[in-house]
Amino acid sequence: MPHASSLGLFVVAAMALLIVPGPAVLYIVGCSLRHGRTAGFLSVLGICTGTLVHLVAATLGLSAALRASPIAFSIIRYAGAVYLVWLGVRALRGDEGSAGRPSAPGRDTPMQIYRQGVLVNVLNPKTALFFLAFLPQFVDQAGEAIAVQVLLLGGLFVLLSLLSDSAYALLAGTFAQYLQGRPQFWSSQRYVTGGIFLTLGLLAAFARV
């Protein structure tokens, strides 16, 4: 099992990575601005579920095999980029109210929001690279139960991401709630949300292996 000092260093390093806005945070902020805090928290659950998929894959050794195949990695990367760009285009084409008065954007169902969060992070190459390049540095290679160590560290990372991402969802959702009574917000919010998703797509497409 990892030493206590290694666990402490891992927590500090993981929090540093999580606090800096990345693709998952941008998605959560965009969802929270568009639909509010509840949807933001649903997107957080989706993102964390996607992280669990990467954790299971890393534990089973599938991520290592994926990393060894540039073609497979490129397929995942560009599939994620295309999906995120589609979300951006969808947001930019959001309907507006008649007579020049903007209306609130159409709402996705809770399951759609959750599923989108899962897909965003499953198709996020940066999350895969975290488990391939960052997490193994804290695994005691000379120790026993390597898979258990990966599960422990990965589970700790998921918990930390749940806390930090929820904070982003709360702040962004509260900001959106404050602006709900301002018509000019709804006339411009789809451009902000669409821009965030398009940025996500570009980040995924040009992520370095």
Of residues 152 and 2, which shows the higher confidence score? 152
Summarised one tens digit per residue, pLDDT across range 66-99 is: 667 777 767 766 776 787 788 778 777 764 433 3
How far is it, in rounded angstroms, from Cα 159 to Cα 27?
18
**What number is the average pLDDT over the span 7-14?**
82
Amino acid at 174: T
Please compute Rg for the chain using Cα positions.
Answer: 18
| Rounded distance between C-alpha atoms, residue 172 and residue 38, angstroms | 11
**Element holding 104 (H helix, E strand):** none
CA 145 to chain centre: 29
Whole-model pTM? Answer: 0.71
Q: How confident is the model over 99-113, as pLDDT tens digits?
A: 333 334 456 788 999
Q: How many CB atoms lie within 10 A of CB 186?
A: 19
Structure tokens at 62: 């599938």
Q: Mean pLDDT, to the nearest integer, of 144-161?
A: 86
Q: What angle do CA 122, 125, 130 make, to 5 degrees?
A: 100
Residue 59 has pLDDT above 80, yes or no: yes
Mean pLDDT of 132-137: 75
CA atoms within 13 A on the CB side of 41: 5
pLDDT cut 90: percent of the chain above it: 20
**pLDDT confidence band for 34 (50 / 70 / 90):** confident
Buried-state track 159-185, b at ≥16 Cβ within 10 A, e below 16: ebbbebbbebbeebbeebeeeeeeeeb
> What is the reported pLDDT for 100?
35
Q: Report the range of poorest mean pLDDT among 33-37, 77-81, 140-144.
A: 140-144
Question: Which residue intervals of the chain are DSSP H helices?
Answer: 4-19, 23-35, 37-60, 62-67, 70-92, 110-122, 125-129, 146-179, 183-205
pLDDT score of 40? 92
The C-alpha atoms of residue 139 and residue 149 are separated, in whole angstroms, by 6
